[in-house]
Amino acid sequence: MEIIFKNYKYKDNNLNFTIKENEINGIITDNVEEIVDILKIKLKYTGKIIVDGETIDNPIKYKNKINIVSKEIENDIHFQNVYDLLENEILKRKISPKNLEKKVEDSLKIVGLKEEILDRNIYTLSNYEKKFIQVAKALLCNPELLILIEPFKVLDRDNTKKLIRLLEKINEHYHRTIIIIDSNINNIYKYTKHLIIFLNDKILKEGNTFDILTNVNYLKKNKIDIPSIIEITYLAYKNKKIKIDYHKDIRDIIKDIYKHV
């Protein structure tokens, strides 16, 4: 699912940006709620929104292709267990599966969770289990676009790796477009390919994540955080005149340093 926002009027600015099809897109923003509202077409707008080459004339059809994984799982007391949470999503979305239980179980299989978790109380779940249940819930409506807000916030290093492997599987195997909105610049650098910077109510920059986030002078000029691994490389050259390539893995940097020392 490719989405092009063309001359989308937002406050005093015209926004032009593209969500790349079948890629993991990243968004850096100072206003998560606003960019999510834009993506979900919650706001009145002028301009064009082009989905898979066609200008949309019915926002409802577009909205039904999107689902969001928020920062935290719902803590509604009406959900006695995980099954109730997932069943509620099916009812809310007006999904009519031939077999409701199979639909729920299939969503768990995709994220790698066992059926036994369905009987668990939400409050007993670990952060890892909650996050993967959130993804399973979001997949129930078979969205073409999955938006994740701060998805790695509560996860440790190992579970972060598990989640990104899952997102890569959803992206590559199921051909779903993914957006990660994250305040941690290191996560955006490591895990996304296409980047949109939405700051001060306008699109500041869009393009290849690597190209943008390795442009240290640009990041400094616009007061955008520098990924830690990029800063190490930058300072190695600035202070020690050790010229090494930018990498995403610290082990590759160490190899390059050994070559030059």
3-state secondary structure the chain: CCEEEEEEEECCEEEEEEECCCCEEEEEECCHHHHHHHHCCCCCCCCEEEECCEECCCHHHHHCCEEEECCCCCCCCCCCCHHHHHHHHHHHCCCCCCCHHHHHHHHHHHHCCCHHHHHCCHHHCCHHHHHHHHHHHHHCCCCCEEEEECCCCCCCHHHHHHHHHHHHHHHHCCCCEEEEECCCHHHHHHHCCEEEEEECCEEEEEEEHHHHHCCHHHHHHCCCCCCHHHHHHHHHHHHHCCCCCCCCCHHHHHHHHHHHC
**CATH code 3.40.50.300 region(s) in the chain:** 1-65+143-210
**Phi and psi, residue 65, nearest 5°:** -95, 0
What is the per-residue pLDDT for 257?
Answer: 66
Pairing of strands 3-10, 48-51: antiparallel
Q: How many CA atoms lie within 13 A of 36 on its CB side?
A: 17
| The residue to which tokens 């928020």 are assigned | 70
What is the per-residue pLDDT for 237?
Answer: 63
Beta bridge partners of 72: none
pLDDT band per the 50, 70, 90 thresholds, residue 113: very high
Lowest mean pLDDT among 43-47, 168-172, 204-208, 218-222: 43-47
Kindly state the percentage of the chain with pLDDT values over 70: 92
What is the per-residue pLDDT for 92?
Answer: 86
Domain at 1-65+143-210, CATH homologous superfamily: P-loop containing nucleotide triphosphate hydrolases (3.40.50.300)
Alpha-carbon distance values, 54 to 39, 151, 194, 202 (Å): 16, 30, 21, 24
CA distance between the termini of the chain:
47
Indicate the pTM of the whole model: 0.91
Copy the structure tokens of residue 169. Answer: 């599987």
Edge-to-edge strand ranges of the sheet holding 54-55? 13-19, 3-10, 48-51, 54-55
Q: Give the integer Cα–Cα distance in Å for 84 and 80.
A: 6
Lowest mean pLDDT among 24-28, 33-37, 99-103, 235-239: 235-239
What is the per-residue pLDDT for 79?
Answer: 78
pLDDT band per the 50, 70, 90 thresholds, residue 77: low
| The residue to which tokens 């179980």 are assigned | 105
Amino acid present at 62: Y
What is the per-residue pLDDT for 219?
Answer: 95
pLDDT band per the 50, 70, 90 thresholds, residue 46: confident
What is the per-residue pLDDT for 232?
Answer: 82
Q: Is the pLDDT of residue 76 over 60?
A: no
How confident is the prediction for the chain on average, in pLDDT? 89
What is the per-residue pLDDT for 75?
Answer: 59
